[in-house]
Structure 1
Amino acid sequence: MINGTSVPEDTTDLAVFQGTSPYEDYVHASVLGSLQQPFTDAPDEMSFLISTQVMELWFALIIHEWRAACDAFAQEDLTAALDALERSRRAHLALNAGWTPLAALTPVRFNGFRAAFGKASGAQSARYRMMEFLLGEKSAGILEGHRGDPVEYTELSELLHAPSLWDEVLHFLHRRGHRMPAEVLQRDLRRPYQSDPGVVAAWRRIYAGPQHDPLLRLGELLTDIAELVQRWRFDHLLVVRRAMGAKQGSAGTSGLDWLERRARRQLFPELWAVRSDV
């Protein structure tokens, strides 16, 4: 009690700062909180907007970790590569949970704000495209949609011409004595990756060998990531199917048809093929 007034127990733990707090200076919470600018009064738009923005932040973290893994493979540092992949796996779990606030949108509730964002579409996300390029799902035509933003265009162009995460893994395995076909090692990096029986054979030797081999852990971590990516795409498909059915997607995409094709794509195909041979 001070002059008959109760003081909260934690008051003594609060420092007084000139200007913003160190927390604000580090996290920029006020900046993040200012970025939600709904176009309508629809009660579900804020949830849609924040969920989408949070996904963009998870995209950025996952890109950071996959790039770190690529660098580690190039430097022959398997431990650092495995650590980065494990961090990306945990980040992707959080990314996938981001569909939860949107999973029960009904058509009427979605229509309450859908028209307001006009031609905006997740297909236009530069960070999502960067993730796909890092996974080996490349397309030079994608760059044209980002030509208006020099930073995005440059980053995507660099990733288009750079080895994907899977390319770096296969080159690393080759240097470790698991011989890879020349056509895989010398392939056009601008093209989508295609499965190769020689790569299946290399992974077969790893999977049939010692079960505590760090390379087997690498294969399983990559399989986890491939599964998480596919689950994210499938959950996206379900959210859209529930909220808008078979209507045409925003920005002129084919909606469900486009999402279904992407959900069927299999990443790191040799890691799935090898399971039938061991």
Structure 2
Amino acid sequence: MTCPHAAPRGEHIVRDEGAQLDFSGDMSYGDYLQLDRILNAQKPLSPDHNELLFIVQHQTSELWMKLMLHELGAAVDAVARDQLQPAFKMLARVSKIMEQLVHAWDVLATMTPPEYSAIRPYLGHSSGFQSWQYRCIEFSLGNKNAAMLQPHAHRPDLLATVEAAWRAPGLYDEALRLLARRGIAVPASHLERDWTRPYTPDAEVEQAWLAVYRDPQRHWDLYQLGEELTDLEDAFRLWRFRHLTTVERVIGFKRGTGGTGGVSYLRRMLDTELFPELWALRTQL
């Protein structure tokens, strides 16, 4: 039963909390986050109800990737400067972002094959394969491939950004240089090399990491770095695997809109190891 003289429940709570109600001359929540721009950035091309899900899924993933690149770039710089404590925080955050991206596939997986088929003709050749942010993430993690520059050639500004990531030493490269600075034997071939080339596993690098893992008390921060890198690759593998299973569930074995083999391409990517010696050494311990 409602008292006839009582204020509406929501109004009573707001008044008690002393919340600001007039933003005519001040910055509001929506202003700060530029929500007008963000919430009006979804422009479905098809008449199908489900296209909004497809757009929002990929736009939010790109926002998470923006944050991931922000943290990953800072972590690479921190490792290069021997500042491992900040790097650990940043790398842990990157792993958590990847967990968010893994769960995001659960939402897209609610799209059934007929629902996707209704919007696919409107996508043209646009594809997540062309994501420049994703490519920068892969390059920063050491999966270098010159052919992946080509999808961005039509945008010189984006091409310059992706090419810079392709030419720069990656996270693992800086980790190995750090080991060497700490007096652990790392082959010269892995300290100064052509950073645009894919990383090649090396038995001497495995021995370098084994020296750390066999005496963690002596090399505690390097040992922790190895585990942060392992956590990161573990999360990245799950992200790739969830991508694969979602694509197979929604489109089966059709070719991707970007021209890739779809599921077959994604399965090949599962075999890529970013930090191979950190996985191989576990058999030796």
Report the TM range for the smaller structure's normalisation: over 0.9
Aligned twin of 2:7: 6
Aligned to 1:193: 199
Is residue 265 of structure 2 the alignment partner of residue 261 of structure 1? no
Q: Deviations over 1:159-214 (max 9, x none)?
A: 11111011111111110111210111122101111111111001111111135812
Count of residues in Structure 1 that have an aligned counterpart in Structure 2: 276
Tell me: CA distance 1:127–1:20, structure 2 relative to 1, closer, same or farther (3 Å). Answer: farther
Asked if structure 2 preserves the Cα contact closer than 8 Å seen for 1:104 and 1:239, the reply is no
Tell me the CA shift for residue 249 of structure 1. Answer: 1.1
Q: Residue 187 of structure 2 contacts residue 205 of structure 2 at CA under 8 Å; is this kept in 1? A: yes
Runs of 4+ that moved beyond 6 A: none
CA–CA separation in structure 1 for the residues paired with 2:198 and 2:143: 5
The aligned amino acid for 1:223 is T
2:72/2:91 contact within 8 Å kept: yes
1:1-278 matched pairs, under 5 angstroms = 6-7=7-8, 8-9=11-12, 10-11=14-15, 12-18=18-24, 21-210=27-216, 213-278=220-285
The farther-off stretch of 101-110 and 20-29 is 20-29
Report the residue type matching 1:219 in the other structure.
G
Q: Any gaps of 5 or more consecutive residues in structure 2?
A: none
> Is the partner of 2:258 in helix, strand or coil?
helix
Between stretches 53-62 and 202-211, larger displacement belongs to: 202-211
The 8 Å contact of residues 105 and 239 in structure 1, kept in 2 or not, is answered as no
Normalised to the residue count of structure 2, the TM-score between the two structures is 0.92
Inter-partner Cα distance in structure 1 for 2:258 and 2:81: 41
CA offsets, 1:126-182, max 9 Å, x none?
Answer: 000000110111122222221222221111111111110111111111101112101
Offset from partner CA, 1:75-125 (integer Å, 9 cap, x none): 111111112111212222112211111123321111121111111111000
Unaligned runs of 5+ in 1: none
CA distance in 2, matches of 1:87, 1:144: 30
> Structure 1 length as normaliser, TM-score?
0.94
Shift of 1:65: 0.8
Shift of 1:5: 7.6
2:258 maps to amino acid:
A
Q: What is the Cα deviation at residue 41 of structure 1? A: 2.8
Q: Deviations over 1:219-246 (max 9, x none)?
A: 1111111011111111111011111111
Task: Describe the shift of the 1:27–1:176 C-alpha distance in structure 2 as closer, same or farther (beyond 3 A).
Answer: same
How far 1:277 moved relative to its partner?
A: 0.4
Q: Percent identity?
A: 38
Specify the SS of the correspondent of 1:98. Answer: helix
Q: In 2, are the aligned partners of 1:199 and 1:270 still within 8 Å (CA)?
A: yes
Q: Tell me how large the CA RMSD over aligned residues is.
A: 1.7
Q: Post-superposition shift, 1:61?
A: 0.8
